[in-house]
């Protein structure tokens, strides 16, 4: 694995990790609050009502608390389902007000990793409308926020196949009794017997070609990730709410966003966390830019397909080699790159499990024996 950081004062701030497929053993999805977040609305950015008809109390955002059945300001209603990255590693995860849920189970008895592991955020899932997932180990298997207009959309997803391969596929999710099942967007070929799990992200690189912004105009519930808005300006706050209110109707949202763009609203060069898939590598890219700039950077790094996973203060890379000490009292890993305003609690993470033990014992610390 190769990790490069670019921290040039006043010029650039980002990271790129390249994982050869030959080193990658498995990719896992962690969403500890899966069951309860399906009964929530994430972070709501437009006027809407809860299950009992109560209007959301926007200030400027709100969240429905599925445990207590009421609206809270900001993300307070779903805060209990957001955990620091390292807490996702445990065998069992404690969530306030609920029974323990299974975690990734990647730690040994001393609380240290059993193998080399990279964690990155997947934090639009569970926070923003438009982000869905499917996991064959869950019940129900399909994840979306309450009120998601699933039938109106096609979803570009990171797909982890039961064979172990990773690809990016465009899917639809068809209703199946109380659940949904994944099918190819073209042809409706059923994939539920072949997929281990999948999770949506906005596609910025497709078959080696950069996806133009015009194709993404209806895919951002939080429009700040595409067009610049000054959240301190009441007029811009209102524009964000109006766009978010049209998210359930992709055609209406596209028209609204295109009109704002054509009227001169500038593009946003946001900090993004992106995942790229190449023939021989996986690319984790974290840097500022427009979606097209992110797609171009993924392509330069050797990817053929790429998705945006999260943005802004959600962006981080956590790695096993940043751990401290061994045994009880040590740390299994740590942050090696993050947004300047990084918020550690994570609603969802992806775990990249690399071949090889996380720690090894050498005869004299860092001295490596050599035998001629």
| 314 three-state secondary structure | helix
**Residue whose structure tokens are 């592991």:** 117
CB distance 148 to 129 below 8 Å: yes
Please compute, for residue 268, the number of CA atoms within 13 A of its CA located in the half-sphere on the CB side: 19
Output the pLDDT for position 90: 97
pLDDT at 360 over 70: no
Query: Average pLDDT, stretch 141-165?
Result: 97
pLDDT tens digit sequence for 10-31: 888 999 999 999 999 999 999 9
pLDDT tens digit sequence for 246-274: 999 999 999 999 999 999 999 999 999 99
CB distance 119 to 85 below 8 Å: yes
Higher pLDDT, 281 or 360: 281
pLDDT at 366 over 70: no
pLDDT tens digit sequence for 50-98: 888 899 878 899 999 999 999 999 999 999 999 999 999 999 999 999 9
pLDDT at 372 over 50: no
**Residue whose structure tokens are 């779903």:** 78
Confidence of residue 362 (pLDDT cuts 50, 70, 90): low
Output the pLDDT for position 365: 57
Closest CA to 158 of 150, 170, 148, 146: 170
Confidence of residue 370 (pLDDT cuts 50, 70, 90): very low
CB distance 285 to 276 below 8 Å: yes
pLDDT at 367 over 60: no
**Residue whose structure tokens are 């300006």:** 233
Output the pLDDT for position 278: 98
From the CB of residue 24, how many other CB atoms can be counted at a distance below 10 Å? Answer: 18
What is the spatial distance between Cα 111 and Cα 91, in angstroms, rounded to a whole number?
10
CA angle (114 as vertex; 6, 24 as ends), nearest 5: 55
Confidence of residue 43 (pLDDT cuts 50, 70, 90): very high
CB distance 1 to 18 below 8 Å: yes
pLDDT at 356 over 50: yes
What is the spatial distance between Cα 161 and Cα 167, in angstroms, rounded to a whole number?
8
Output the pLDDT for position 91: 97
CB distance 298 to 274 below 8 Å: yes
% of the chain beyond a pLDDT of 70? 95
Angle, in degrees to the nearest 10, between helices 250-262 and 234-245: 150
Q: What is the 3-state secondary structure (H, E, C) of 207-268?
A: CCEECCHHHHCCCCCCHHHCECCCCCCHHHHHHHHHHHHCCCCHHHHHHHHHHHHHCCCCEC
Prediction pTM value: 0.94
pLDDT tens digit sequence for 156-205: 999 999 999 999 999 999 999 999 999 999 988 999 999 999 999 999 99
CB distance 125 to 133 below 8 Å: yes
Output the pLDDT for position 359: 78
From the CB of residue 146, how many other CB atoms can be counted at a distance below 10 Å? Answer: 16
Average pLDDT of the chain, as a whole number: 94
């Amino acid at each position: 694995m190769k990790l490069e950081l670019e921290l040039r004062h006043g010029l650039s701030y980002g990271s790129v990790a390249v994982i050869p497929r030959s080193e990658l053993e498995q990719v896992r999805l962690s969403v500890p609050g899966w069951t309860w977040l399906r009964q929530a609305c994430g972070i709501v950015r437009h006027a809407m009502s809860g299950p009992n008809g109560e209007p959301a109390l926007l200030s400027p955002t709100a969240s429905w608390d599925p445990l207590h059945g009421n609206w809270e300001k900001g993300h307070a209603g779903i805060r209990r389902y957001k955990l620091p990255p390292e807490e996702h590693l445990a065998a069992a995860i404690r969530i306030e007000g609920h029974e323990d849920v299974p975690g990734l189970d990647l730690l040994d008895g001393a609380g240290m990793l059993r193998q080399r592991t990279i964690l990155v955020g997947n934090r639009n899932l569970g926070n923003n409308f438009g982000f869905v997932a499917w996991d064959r180990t869950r019940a129900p298997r399909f994840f979306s926020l309450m009120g998601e207009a699933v039938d109106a959309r096609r979803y570009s997803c990171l797909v982890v196949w039961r064979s172990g391969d990773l690809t990016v596929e465009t899917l639809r999710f068809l209703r199946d009794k109380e659940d949904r099942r994944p099918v190819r967007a073209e042809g409706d070929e059923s994939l539920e017997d072949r997929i281990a799990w999948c999770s949506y992200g906005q596609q910025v690189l497709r078959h080696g070609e950069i996806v133009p912004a015009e194709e993404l105009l209806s895919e951002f519930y939080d429009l700040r990730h595409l067009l610049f808005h000054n959240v301190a300006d009441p007029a811009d706050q209102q524009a964000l709410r109006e766009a978010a209110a049209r998210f359930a109707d992709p055609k209406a949202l596209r028209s609204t966003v295109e009109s704002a763009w054509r009227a001169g609203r500038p593009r946003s060069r946001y900090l993004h966390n992106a995942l790229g898939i190449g023939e021989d590598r996986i690319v984790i890219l974290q840097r500022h830019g427009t979606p097209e700039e992110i797609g171009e950077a993924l392509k330069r790094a050797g990817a053929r397909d790429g998705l945006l996973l999260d943005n802004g203060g959600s962006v981080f890379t956590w790695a096993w080699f940043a751990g401290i000490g061994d045994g009880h009292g040590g740390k299994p890993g740590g942050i090696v790159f993050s947004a300047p305003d990084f918020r550690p609690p994570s609603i969802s993470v992806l775990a990249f499990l690399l071949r090889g033990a996380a720690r090894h014992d050498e005869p004299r610390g860092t001295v490596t024996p050599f035998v001629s």
